[in-house]
Amino acid sequence: MPGTPREPRSGRPTLRDVAEKAEVSAMTASRVLRDDPRVLPATRDRVRAAAAALGYRPNELARRLRLGRGTGLVGLVVTNLANPFYSRLALGLDSVLGADGLKTVIGNTGQDPEAERELVADLVGRRVDGIVAVPAGDDQCHLAAAAADGVPVVLASRPPRGFAADCVLVDDYGGARDATARLLARGHRRIGFLGSPPAVYTGTERLRGYRAALSAASLCPDARHIRQGQTQPHEAERAAAELLALPDPPTALFCSNNRNTIGAFRAVRAARADVALAGFDDFELADALGLPLTLVTYDSDELGRAAGRLLLDRIRERGTADTAGTADTADTADTADTAGTADTAGADARRVVLATELVEYGG
């Protein structure tokens, strides 16, 4: 005979084990454990006892496979979980998903685009019910592919490029503009900029905001005062130090994220320079640095929660829509071949933008 018939399976007790022990069929056991009412109380108790004795836990995977309702898993794709920004995102996301019985699978790419591709492919293979991603580079083909495969995708902090997907953004432009404007209002005229690599969406948006504020004040930003490309505080510190060493150094700095703000702070303090500091992102102890600091803040947990809500909507949408095709009982057989084109029906992509707020520290 092909399969080994009734070998004492290695691992955990199965539904049939429970059924045999309770001397009922697997079906009855299944009903009991699913709290199906139409079961004789006596039988129910026997089954429950058997299950308890065996330490039976239903195999959620097999069940989901049978039900075809998805895995109850959502993939989270980020570059660096150690960054508080991402860990808060993860937390906010998980809190919303968890309330709906979904679990979050983390995928840390460490800035590697190739790792990101593989990760997304792996998640799709695992049949996650959805993906929340903060893509590292500007190539989002893998996400587009996943979306085309019918996996709901939500982007956080960056908009989709080249395909349709929901996203939740921060008001990068407005926040940066307002913070820069505040420096201008204090009389600063030479304001430097420290930011992430140009490929990073948030960084360039914030640069746009910075430029807009300068333009509004009829100022032309000095190209030598703009430094992009710093990812870590020590890189930012070095870049800031170089700006401060210029013949006519800036009297204020705007930093496009907390890594750059912290680096700039160190440089300014080391140089004992009288330079005003402003930056995007709040961070712990920002108020304790002994330097005046203007920060653009926002609710970073809400970023994750909003992403979670968008995703949940799409997941539910997919669950109910099902076979709501246009033509009914179509028998034109040759159309079957052209299947496989994106199934991104539903409503158009939504975009949530989180407001920012300016706070002043130190002084």
Partner DNA sequence: CTGTTAGCGCGTTCAT
Partner DNA sequence: ATGAACGCGCTAACAG
The option from its own copies, DNA, none interacting with 358 (CB < 5 to 8 A, set by class) reads: none
Q: How far is CA 16 from the centre of its chain?
A: 40
The answer to the question of residue 33 lying near its own copies (CB under 8 A) is no
User: Which SS3 state, helix, strand or coil, does residue 137 take?
Assistant: coil
Q: Is 113 in the site for its own copies (CB under 8 A)?
A: no
Q: Which residues of 147-169 are buried (b: 16+ CB within 10 A; e: fewer)?
A: bbeebbbbbbbbebeebebbbbb
> Choosing among its own copies, DNA, none, which partner's interface includes residue 223 (Cβ < 5 to 8 Å by kind)?
none
Distance between CA atoms of residues 313 and 161, nearest Å = 21
Shorter beta-carbon distance to DNA: residue 27 or 330? 27
Strands (E), the chain: 73-78, 103-108, 130-133, 153-156, 166-170, 191-195, 226-228, 252-255, 276-280, 293-297, 351-354, 357-361
Which of 40, 62 has the CB closer to its own copies?
Answer: 62
- Judged by CB under 8 A, the stretch of 49-57, 132-140, 157-165, 212-220 that binds its own copies is 49-57
Chosen from its own copies, DNA, none, partner binding at 273 (C-beta under 5 to 8 Å by type): none
Asked if 11 is part of the footprint of its own copies (rule: CB under 8 A), the reply reads yes
Kindly list the distances between the CA atom of residue 354 and the CA atoms of 73, 179, 310, 317, in Å, as whole numbers in the listed order.
Answer: 26, 16, 14, 24
Helix then strand then coil, in percent of the chain rounded to 5, is 45, 15, 40
**From residue 272 to residue 311, what is the string marking binding to its own copies with x (rule CB under 8 A)?**
-----------xxx--xxx----------x----------
| 126 interacts with its own copies by CB under 8 A | yes
Q: Is residue 59 within the footprint of its own copies (CB under 8 A)?
A: yes
* Count helices and strands in the chain by DSSP H and E runs: 12, 12
- Which CB atom, from 86 or from 210, has the smaller least distance to its own copies? 86
Q: Residue 353 binds which one of DNA, its own copies, none, with CB within 5 to 8 A depending on kind? A: none
CB of 24 vs DNA, minimal distance in Å: 4
Could you identify the residue written with the tokens 């994750």?
304
**Could you tell me the sign of the dihedral formed by the alpha carbons of 32, 34, 39, 42, in that order?**
positive
| Site residues (vs DNA, CB under 7 A) | 1-3, 5, 9, 11, 14-16, 24-28, 30-31, 33-34, 37-40, 42-44, 58-59, 62-63, 65-68
Nearer to DNA, 2 or 187 (CB): 2
Question: Cα(51)–Cα(19) distance, rounded to whole angstroms?
Answer: 9
- Candidates 106, 219, 241, 353: give the one binding its own copies (CB under 8 A): 106
Q: How far is CA 64 from CA 96, 103, 194, in A?
A: 21, 14, 49
Q: Given the complex with its own copies, which of 58 and 174 has the nearer CB atom?
A: 58
164 binds, among its own copies, DNA, none (CB under 5 to 8 A by kind): none
Residue with tokens 């084990």: 17
CA distance 320 to 317: 5
Q: Which residues bind its own copies (CB under 8 A)?
A: 8, 10-13, 53-55, 57-62, 64-65, 68, 71-73, 80-82, 84, 86-88, 90-91, 94-95, 98, 103-108, 121-122, 124-127, 145, 148-150, 262, 265-266, 269, 283-285, 288-290, 301, 322-323, 339-340
